[in-house]
Amino acid sequence: MNVRITGTGSALPGKILTNAELERLVDTSDEWITTRTGIKERRIAVEGEYTSTFAAEAARRAMAMAGAHPEEIDLIIIGTVTPDFPFPSTACIVQDLLGATNATAFDLSAACSGFLYGVSIAEKFLRSGAARKVLVIGSEVLSRIVDWQDRNTCVLFGDGAGAVVLEASEGDHSLLSTHTFSNGSFWNLLYQPGSGSRNPATESRTIDERLIYLKMEGNDVFKHAVRAMEEAALKALDANGLTPSNISLMIPHQANRRIIDATTKRLGLGPDKLFTNLHRYGNTSSASIPIALDEANRQGVIKPDSKLLMVAFGGGFTYASALVNW
């Protein structure tokens, strides 16, 4: 049984935060952010908007494209590091919002690789016949765990969601492979120290020591990201007997323009084979690939029968790739 992406969707907050506005919050400049990251602006959730809000909207759009009814969905997987609550899962909240009454729903914690990890799990359910229609969603409201006093991190991240419907199919327009990897040796280079069992909430720890906020060793993460994304991409190509020249389009995790450029240079892929939108949204973690996928799909950038490569890297470290014959 093959597995096909039959619908894509995305949802973003209406509120835009530009680099110029960030200059008024922390000691930074549009010039620094643009040259070091490629980011010009990002979307920020407002009061009353949560991870589930964007997840449900992105899912509705993906289901509308797929012509899938909520009751037909067998499984909902949400990659997120910013769930509405530690529990219950945001996936259960989204199940309720959608009326997907026949689905099993769970969240998946793989940071920025959460969406591709979800696709890989969905693939196994679909190939085995355990599910017929699956929603995989990446959704984040990172603005609520970003330290708005830390210029090293607050300029990088944004909010939003992307989703796909995956279905069992017998045609050739299908998912060719998925690969997932983890390297737990570096878990403390990118993490949120507070809010879990290791540093339970207290006023001094959570607020005064600012443990509730995301921490990152940017330079180290950068180097690992480039090597890992190259490895994940090559694994996908090898598994399918392909070389970079066979790839029609690559959608990488949208973390930093320099990471993307260094990765594509190592792979020998030209800029014409790359889809990016991080200048408008920043790094939306698990949402970044499905948002870009939806935009590329709706803009007609992905041609039928083309080979689409998606590659992610995130905290954990986790990394992953998926190759699709579109």
Segment contacting ligand ACO by CB under 6 A, of 26-34, 71-79, 87-95, 102-110: 26-34
d(CA 79, CA 111): 7
Which residue in the list 253, 256, 297, 325 is annotated as catalytic? 253
The distance from CA 156 to its chain's CA centroid, rounded to whole angstroms, is: 14
Contact with ligand ACO (CB under 6 A) among 2, 32, 215, 273: 32
For residue 235, the tally of other CB atoms under 10 A from its CB is 19
Site track for ligand ACO across 92-131, x = CB under 6 A: -------------------xx-------------------
Q: Which of 169, 177, 209, 218 binds ligand ACO (CB under 6 A)?
A: 218
Six-digit token pair at 120?
A: 């890989």
User: Closer to ligand ACO at the Cβ: 23 or 72?
Assistant: 23
Q: How many CB atoms lie within 10 A of CB 148?
A: 12
219 binds ligand ACO (CB under 6 A): yes
Name the burial class of residue 268, with classes exposed (0-12), middle (13-18) and buried (19+) by CB atoms within 10 angstroms of its CB: exposed
Q: How far apart are CA 120 and CA 128, in angstroms?
A: 13
Q: Tell me which of 19, 276, 285, 325 binds ligand ACO, using CB under 6 A.
A: 285
Active-site choice (179, 224, 256, 283): 283
How many other C-beta atoms lie within 10 A of the C-beta of residue 163? 35
Range 198-217, binding ligand ACO (CB under 6 A)? 216
Residue 112 annotated as catalytic: yes
283 is catalytic: yes
Work out how close the CB of 194 gets to ligand ACO at its nearest, in angstroms, rounded to a whole number: 17
Q: Does 197 bind ligand ACO (CB under 6 A)?
A: no
315 is a contact residue toward ligand ACO (CB under 6 A)? yes
Based on the residue annotation, tell me whether 152 is a catalytic residue of this protein.
no
Nearer to ligand ACO, 85 or 187 (CB): 187
Task: Point out which residues pair with 136 in neighbouring strands.
Answer: 77, 164
H or E element at residue 136? strand 133-141
Amino acid 245 reads S
N-term to C-term CA, the chain: 16
The yes or no reply on residue 276 touching ligand ACO (CB under 6 A) is: no
Contact indicator for 63, 70 with CB cutoff of 8 Å: yes
Nearest in space to 164 (alpha carbons), one of 2, 4, 324, 325: 4
> By the criterion CB under 6 A, which residues form the site for ligand ACO?
28, 32-33, 36-37, 111-112, 151-152, 155, 190, 216, 218-219, 221-222, 225, 255-256, 259, 283, 285, 313-315
Catalytic residues: 112, 253, 283
